[in-house]
């Protein structure tokens, strides 16, 4: 069982899940609850992510309460107003039309925290940031598992992390890595919404790959 070999069909399923995973925002979530068992399945997927030195430096806060969501959404609104000011002219007009979160529309929000280790961690002694990268691996596992369960997930990063920590009563040394909105959707878009809306294009492979070194 441990040396399980996957088939070409399995690879195609994984590829399909990866290609059809979408960031889901409030314009897509429907009014349908997500059962605790399904949320647990997502969290178990997170727990199988790789982590530096097997440190598993993640903690999760599940939020269903509408008052808590309203407080988080207020932080989004404040931060988004600051974001709008960073774009100019036509780009700013485009930006204000984007829906960039689904905090209140999603039945479940999941805040994902990095809990730094108190002592040295195997593998994390030169690059301190790899602890945070481990938490991002856990988020990606959840995102793919959610898509495999036909559940939408959106990552909201336009937030004041300190305010989110205060709202959720997080320990001071924990760091907010991701704020996720989870729920069923009316549809999964075929391509990233930001691509459909012509905000960005997907990069071609040859534009990001160098052979042997950058300057060759
Ligand atoms: C670290 C990270 C932060 C993100 N933050 C936001 C966000 O604050 N608001 C938002 O609408 N989308 C956010 N996204 C989603 C991206 O916009 C999305 O992944 C990208 O447009 C590609 O679309 P897709 O995920 O549907 O393929 C974030 C994604 C990542 C990986």
pLDDT in tens, 65-84: 999 999 999 999 999 999 99
Q: List pocket residues of ligand 1, CB cut-off 6 Å.
A: 22-23, 25, 100-101, 155-158, 192, 194
**Token pair recorded at residue 149:** 């369960």
**Token pair recorded at residue 49:** 């992510």
**Cα 75 to averaged position of ligand 1 atoms, centre (Å):** 18
Q: What are the phi and psi torsion angles at 160 (to 5°)?
A: -90, 110
pLDDT at 216 over 70: no
SS3 content of the chain, % helix, strand, coil (to 5): 45, 15, 45
Instruction: Note the Cα 48 to chain centre separation in Å.
Output: 16
pLDDT at 2 over 90: no
Cα separation, 61 vs 175, whole angstroms: 12
Mean pLDDT of the chain: 97
Non-local CB neighbours of 134 within 8 Å, separated by 6+ positions: 49, 50, 51, 52, 55, 56, 57, 58
Q: What is the pTM of this model?
A: 0.97
Which of 112, 155, 187, 194 has most ligand 1 atoms within 8 Å of its beta carbon, as the pocket-test mutant?
155
pLDDT at 40 over 90: yes
- Within a 10 A sphere around the Cβ of 41, how many other Cβ atoms? 16
Protein residue whose Cα sits closest to atom 10 of ligand 1: 100
**Cα 165 to averaged position of ligand 1 atoms, centre (Å):** 21
**Cα 175 to averaged position of ligand 1 atoms, centre (Å):** 19
- Rg (C-alpha) for the chain, rounded Å, is 19
Contact between 102 and 25 under an 8 Å Cβ cutoff? The reply is yes
Express each pLDDT in 100-138 by its tens digit.
Answer: 999 999 999 999 999 999 999 999 999 999 999 999 999
Express each pLDDT in 43-63 by its tens digit.
Answer: 999 999 999 999 999 999 999
Protein residue whose Cα sits closest to atom 30 of ligand 1: 155
**Cα 202 to averaged position of ligand 1 atoms, centre (Å):** 13
pLDDT band at 215 (very low <50, low <70, confident <90, very high): confident
Phi-psi label, residue 150: left if phi above 0, alpha if psi -120 to 50, beta otherwise: left
């Amino acid at each position: 069982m441990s040396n399980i070999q996957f088939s070409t069909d399995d690879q195609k399923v994984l590829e399909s899940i990866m290609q059809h995973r979408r960031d889901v925002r409030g314009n897509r979530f429907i009014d349908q609850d997500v059962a605790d068992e399904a949320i647990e399945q997502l969290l178990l997927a997170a727990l199988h992510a790789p982590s530096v030195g097997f440190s598993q430096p993640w903690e999760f806060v599940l939020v269903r309460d509408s008052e808590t969501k309203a407080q988080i959404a207020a932080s989004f609104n404040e931060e988004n107003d600051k974001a709008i000011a960073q774009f100019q002219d036509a780009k700013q007009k485009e930006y204000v039309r984007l829906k960039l979160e689904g905090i209140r529309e999603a039945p479940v929000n999941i805040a994902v925290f990095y809990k730094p280790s108190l002592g040295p961690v195997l593998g994390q002694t030169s690059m301190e940031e790899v602890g945070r990268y481990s938490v991002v691996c856990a988020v990606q596992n959840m995102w793919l598992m959610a898509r495999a369960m036909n559940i939408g997930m959106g990552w909201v990063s336009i937030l004041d992390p300190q305010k989110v920590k205060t709202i959720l009563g997080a320990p001071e040394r924990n760091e907010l890595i991701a704020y996720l909105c989870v729920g069923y959707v009316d549809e999964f878009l075929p391509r990233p919404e930001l691509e459909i809306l012509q905000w960005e294009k997907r990069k071609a492979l040859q534009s990001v790959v160098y052979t042997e070194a950058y300057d060759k």
